[in-house]
Chain A
Amino acid sequence: EIVLTQSPGTLSLSPGERATLSCRASQSISSTYLAWYQQKPGQAPRLLVYGASSRATGIPDRFSGSGSGTDFTLTISRLEPEDFAVYYCQQYFSSHTFGQGTKLEIK
């Protein structure tokens, strides 16, 4: 099973700042099969990025994904108040597994 490790566990930032979230895979995966999701309290996760760098429909361009092999990154260029949430990476290269999540909280 491919294990995804996200870091940091919690990220404390202020609106307007830049956020960088990391996802590391236990083995190399094609970037085609790496996605990022956002989850707010009481809601289901929402697809943000797929194929490591393609934004899903309706996702603002302040969200961007990058990476390859075992290291992937989600960047939020200028944080808006509604961006504070939990973020998960997922690989669908070999079955489906998720990272444990990064909580992005207001500083």
Chain B
Amino acid sequence: QVQLVQSGPEVKKPGSSVKVSCKASGDTFSRYSIHWVRQDPGQGLEWLGRTIPILGESNYALKFQGRVSIFADTSTSTVSMGLSSLRSEDTAVYFCVTSYGSGVSPFDYWGQGTPVTVSS
């Protein structure tokens, strides 16, 4: 059973950056890709990008390229997602999510979510 435990809520000013972490249990890193998905207050779900820890590769949604970075630290089984140049529209709950393998698979395990609020 995969468990994903995320860092706590964040409140940020417009223009600043945020970093959210996600610690995975067991041998998750050797078998899964780790994605980041956000859910805005209107409840829409949006994919930001993913990392494949065993390959050390990451790829990002076109909309967020240049603003998002996803990094896996295999020594601590932790994935971090950084988002820069924050604006009010980035206010959302951010989830880390797994998909099996390094190919294309559905999202099978979800973290508990990290609320990020962007407000002046």
Contact = CB atoms under 8 A, between A and B. Distances in A.
Do A and B pair up? The answer is yes
Interface string B86-120: 00000000010001000011111011110000000
Query: Which secondary structure characterizes the binding site on chain B?
Result: loop
Interface in A66-106: 86, 88, 90, 92-93, 95-98, 100-101
B112 to A, nearest CB: 7
> What band does the interface of chain B fall in when counting residues whose beta carbon is under 8 Å from A?
20 to 34
B11 interface: no
A107 B61 CA distance: 39
B89 to A, nearest CB: 17
B106 A44 contact: no
Interface of A: 33, 35, 37, 44-47, 50-51, 56, 86, 88, 90, 92-93, 95-98, 100-101
